[in-house]
Amino acid sequence: MEGKPSKLIPALIGGSIMGVLSSVPIINLGNCLCCMWVILGGGVGAYFYWRELSPDNEFSAGEGALVGLLSGIFGALFGTLIGYFFIATTGSNWFQQIMESIIESGEDIPTEFEDWLDTFEEGGFYSSLFVFIDLFFRIVLNSIFGTLGGIIGAAIFRKRKTADREGADKKA
Amino acid sequence: MKAKRLFRYKNIYVFIVGFSILWCFLFISVPFFRAGGSFLRKTAVFIMYFFAPVCHQIAERSFHIMNYPLAVCARCSGIYLGFLFGAVSYPFIRKLDSALLPPRWILGISVIPMIFETSLSRLGLIPTNRFLMGFSGLVPGAVIAFFVIPAVFQLVDILIKNEVNDYGRKTE
């Protein structure tokens, strides 16, 4: 039995796909559908790992989960970087949008938040602070849903690998 | 060795159930926080911000408590509550000392009600119903728990270098 391939490269591929799709405005709305892009990124990572496996090696759900978890962490890093670029150019982020929707609903909000909203528009300290908060939240969410994507990917691909191996055995 | 593994799996299982309870508490608590004082309202905004990347949070498509919507839509609420239900019922259906995944067709079947509900609702054949959305999310949520729990068992086995190599081959 050959050694198992590195999980880093598949995780980087999955993470970059996850990061880009989760950060580009409009396209990132796909995440509203059960975190679709994050799950997809984990699944893509699992797929590329599965491709590198030799026919003798099994693809366990644990390995899929690990690749998905790493994809999630990379996806959070890429996503925050790309997201920061869009915040810098468009001057709008999730936090601001939530606050604005709450204000529109006529709800009484703490006055500190109104001050924060002003500083967002000026690109002040809180904008930078929220990039780090955003990174932390993304790491938590992407790790969970990326792992889920890796598990689903492993559940889909593990059988095919086994079937491929059985086919190769029959041919031999 | 087997007893040690069972002990580890039990700890992981308790962690997953605990995390799932915390997750559900977070999105259900938002209406109560929004109805509270200044500090609680701030907390509610941060929780809404946390869930924003994974759900559209449209109030009309969310369950309400005290006239405030939950932090996630009805379908996501169903998925997360379903996961909690699946995780709690896991030891009554599967053995905790096993890290084998169920057959993948179960996962495929579980999403059929959600696909049907979404398709019919989008086509305008049935009205958008929050309870129907929530119920259609409950089923895949519960089923996913039966994939995630053994996969996390395997993941931890891999991380502590105690890998058992028959995960991929055996399915029940």
pLDDT tens track of chain A, all 172 residues?
457 788 899 999 999 999 999 888 788 778 777 788 999 999 999 999 999 888 777 888 889 999 999 999 999 999 888 877 877 776 666 666 666 666 666 555 556 566 666 665 555 555 667 778 888 889 999 999 999 999 999 988 876 555 555 555 555 4
Is residue A78 a part of any domain in this protein?
Answer: yes
A32 contacts B54? CB cut-off 8 A: yes
Q: Which two tokens stand for residue B157?
A: 């086995």
Q: Give the closest-approach CA distance of B102 to chain A in angstroms.
A: 9
Count, residues in chain A: 172
CB atoms within 10 A of CB B60: 10
Helix then strand then coil, in percent of chain B rounded to 5, is 70, 0, 25
Domain span including residue A107: 8-171
Q: Which of residues 92-111 of A touch B (CB under 8 A)?
A: 94-95, 97-99, 102, 105, 107-110
**Ramachandran angles phi, psi of B29, nearest 5°:** -75, -20
For residue A106, which residues of chain B lie inside 8 Å, CB to CB?
none
Rounded CA separation A35/B24 (Å): 17
Is residue A3 a part of any domain in this protein?
Answer: no
Among B132, B108, B105, B106, which Cα is nearest to B118's?
B132
b/e A46-69 (16+ beta carbons within 10 angstroms → b): bbbbbeebeeebbbbbbbbbbbbb
Rounded CA separation A130/A142 (Å): 17
The torsion region of residue A168 among left (phi > 0), alpha (psi -120 to 50) and beta comes to: alpha
Across chain B, what does the average pLDDT equal? 86
Entry pTM? 0.83
For chain B, say whether A29 makes contact (Cβ under 8 Å).
yes
Rounded CA separation B12/B10 (Å): 5
Among B55, B30, B53, which Cα is nearest to B42's?
B30
User: What is the total count of domains within chain A?
Assistant: 1
Rounded CA separation B136/B33 (Å): 27
For chain B, say whether A77 makes contact (Cβ under 8 Å).
no
pLDDT the model gives residue B70: 93
Q: Give the closest-approach CA distance of A57 to chain B in angstroms.
A: 9
pLDDT the model gives residue B170: 43
Best of B19, B22, B45 to substitute, by most chain A Cβ atoms within 10 angstroms, is B45
